[in-house]
Amino acid sequence: MARRLVSDDQPMFRVLVVQRQRRDNPDWERGNVGSPRFLWDGPEYTTAYGPYNSIGAARGQLTFHTVDAYGEPRNGVVGGRIQRAHTTWEDVA
């Protein structure tokens, strides 16, 4: 049985979250503040969340992933965007 998310011709939204993996810094020096133990320029991977029937719900999910516990943006580590799709029907036979 199919699940009904929205009615015909209403938009659906999803969130794409791109996270960057951390990697070891080979030039790391203990006690040197300018030489971090890890760098956030490792490989990236993308995760999709949704679908949502409102853009507000999608924005909430994006904020959850892109803002840290102190309310600061996690720039360079986690980014994302919201995508929109429309449900349409067409005759095939």
DSSP of 2-69: ----S-TT-EEEEEEEEEEPPEE-TT--TT-TTS-SEES-S-EEEEEEEEESSHHHHHHHHHHHHB-T
Q: What would the pLDDT profile of 10-52 be if each residue is shown by its tens digit?
A: 778 889 998 888 788 788 887 777 778 777 777 888 999 988 8
Is it the case that residue 82 has pLDDT exceeding 90?
A: yes
Indicate the Cα dihedral angle 29, 32, 37, 43, nearest 10°: -100
- Report the sign of the C-alpha dihedral through residues 3, 16, 60, 7, in that order: negative
User: Distance (Å, rounded) from C-alpha 93 to C-alpha 87?
Assistant: 19
Whether 1 has a pLDDT exceeding 70, the answer reads no
